[in-house]
Amino acid sequence: MDTCGRIGIMGGTFDPVHNGHLAIARSVADQLGLDRVLFIPAGNPNFKQDQKLASAADRVRMVELAIANEPDFELDLREVERPGVTYTADTLEERGRCHEDARLFFIMGTDSAITLPGWKRAEDIARLCTVVVAHRPGQSTQRVRDALAANPVAFDVMYLDVPQVDVSSTQVRERIALGQGVDGMLPASVEAYVAQAGLYQDA
């Protein structure tokens, strides 16, 4: 049984993982004194059923490359290995069983956090973790605060300022599809993998 005390969880499709993800994870880990941050690529995410994603194998490999030199970051494959649709509550519940003495911090941006009340088993998410809302470029936390306050589920929420790396996976995919450069957006190892695998050229 793992008893590591403070664990950050970065979930997402990571399609692809980019420098913004890494900057947020580093900043939150430093500010909250996390023992480690788990990067958990989504397998078949509920909110992206209508979107075409890079294969799970490609997305896992990109995360693996991105965090290779980050000793406090760890790749967790439970969502890509779990059959069916992926739900955050299931992942948190599994992690809680593996880390009975740990405090879990679920890290998300404001764009995702505002939708949190509508997530499946939202009350279990509130019970199982502290939600860490990281400010993203050009966004305010007020809409998130209002949305969460209007919901009957009492989330334990922390709002943190993080480095404002203005990059998104959507932006990266679009630039690659248009034949434009993505310098500074991706870790060099991930950029090389995307080019070698021919990803996103028809995004």
Tell me the mean pLDDT per 10 residues along the chain, length 203. Answer: 77 96 97 97 68 90 98 96 90 85 94 92 97 82 92 95 90 96 96 97 79
Nearest alpha carbon to residue 28 among 3, 4, 14, 10? 10
Check residue 2 and give its pLDDT: 47
- Residue 100's pLDDT is what? 74
Alpha carbon of 82 to those of 9, 32, 94: distances in Å?
17, 29, 11
Q: 115: closest CA among 103, 99, 133?
A: 133
Q: What is the pLDDT of residue 202?
A: 84
| Strand 73-75 to 36-41 pairing | parallel
142 CB neighbour count, 10 Å cutoff = 9
